[in-house]
């Protein structure tokens, strides 16, 4: 039986770490692609040489040629620029729209049956770009953000409670970072509601820290941003697709009637399997939760409106 094929576009810290996590999970053969000559080749060769030590038989190659990504089962798109000093958000949005547009077109031509997992920021808008440009059905385009945010939320909760991270299950809605809508009512520790284990003020503080978690890492690193956890989250999604695991995970998925979103990619609970997003699960929300979610969706709509103009003019 042929091994599955995972292509990762972008060999920076996130992309290269995606390749590492995917290799350690033995999910299939890996192609690492970047526009910089030598960068993906060197990182892929280094990772391939770890195979005998870790007992990994996967074929791992680096390339600058999209032809090498042909017939991938899953493609993880990490390409994009970080926001640089003096760069406006509009400039960043325009730059990453151009990048994701070009990448998505080339990926779709090489692997027309793939599931696309988008990691590029701003996440929900870039997932929309990948969908529009690829022409793929909505269920085969999905963005990664909610798993990262719940991972951070769970880590901080475990630290506060003094329990194993493995016992904490959490859910959130909405966009990444400031726009996220954590749901303590749907967060449990070994089946016990977290609201019974921590007072409201502690939960509020953890929610606030989770919203700023990416910025906290940037401030510490000073010259970069997070990549271990974002890559691990992306590969968890790839694993759910490649192994048809039917995982219920928070992802940026296309919602039309669901949650009355009206045709945008937003963070919601998704059933991920071989078909991509096989179902969007609608949760019962309080008025406060609904208002926060609607505010997050409105921000996504504003970003997409700007992106649409860029796609038309480019």
Burial of 202: CB neighbours in 10 Å, binned 0-12, 13-18, 19+:
middle
Catalytic residue among 139, 176, 180, 233: 176
HSE-up (13 A, CA, CB side) for residue 293: 23
Q: Quick one: which H or E segment has residue 202?
A: helix 200-211
230 closest CA partner among 33, 47, 18: 18
Catalytic annotation present for 176: yes
Rounded Cα–Cα distance for residues 231 and 227 (Å): 6
The 3-state DSSP class for residue 183 equals: coil
62 closest CA partner among 47, 79, 77: 47
Rounded Cα–Cα distance for residues 285 and 177 (Å): 20
Phi/psi at 96 (5° precision): -75, -30
Burial of 170: CB neighbours in 10 Å, binned 0-12, 13-18, 19+:
buried
Rounded Cα–Cα distance for residues 131 and 117 (Å): 10
Residues annotated as catalytic (active site), given as ranges: 176
């Amino acid at each position: 039986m042929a091994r599955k094929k995972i292509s990762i576009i972008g060999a920076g810290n996130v992309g290269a770490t995606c390749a590492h996590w995917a290799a350690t999970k033995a999910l299939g053969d890996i192609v690492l692609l970047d526009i910089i000559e030598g960068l993906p080749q060197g990182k892929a060769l280094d990772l391939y040489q770890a195979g005998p030590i870790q007992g990994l038989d996967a074929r791992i190659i680096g390339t600058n040629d999209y032809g090498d990504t042909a017939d991938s089962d899953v493609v993880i798109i990490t390409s994009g620029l970080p926001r640089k000093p003096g760069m406006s958000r509009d400039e960043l949005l325009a730059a990453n729209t151009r990048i994701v547009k070009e990448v998505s077109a080339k990926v779709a031509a090489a692997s027309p049956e793939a599931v696309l997992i988008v990691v590029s920021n701003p996440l929900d808008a870039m997932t929309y770009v990948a969908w529009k440009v690829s022409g793929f059905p909505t269920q085969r385009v999905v963005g990664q953000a909610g798993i990262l945010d719940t991972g951070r939320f769970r880590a901080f909760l475990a630290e506060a409670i003094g329990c194993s991270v493995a016992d904490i299950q959490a859910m959130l809605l909405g966009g990444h970072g400031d726009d996220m809508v954590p749901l303590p009512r749907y967060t449990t520790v070994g089946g016990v509601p977290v609201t019974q284990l921590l007072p409201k003020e502690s939960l509020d503080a953890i929610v606030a820290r989770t919203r700023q978690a990416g910025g906290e890492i940037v401030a510490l690193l000073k010259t970069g941003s997070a990549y271990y956890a974002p890559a691990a989250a992306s590969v968890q999604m790839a694993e759910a697709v490649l192994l048809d695991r039917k995982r219920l995970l928070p992802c940026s998925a296309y919602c039309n009637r669901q949650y009355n979103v009206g045709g945008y990619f937003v963070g919601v609970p998704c059933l991920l399997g071989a078909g991509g997003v096989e179902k969007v699960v609608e949760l019962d929300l309080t008025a406060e939760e609904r208002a926060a979610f609607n505010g997050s969706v409105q921000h996504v709509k504003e970003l997409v409106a700007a992106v649409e103009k860029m796609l038309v003019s480019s």
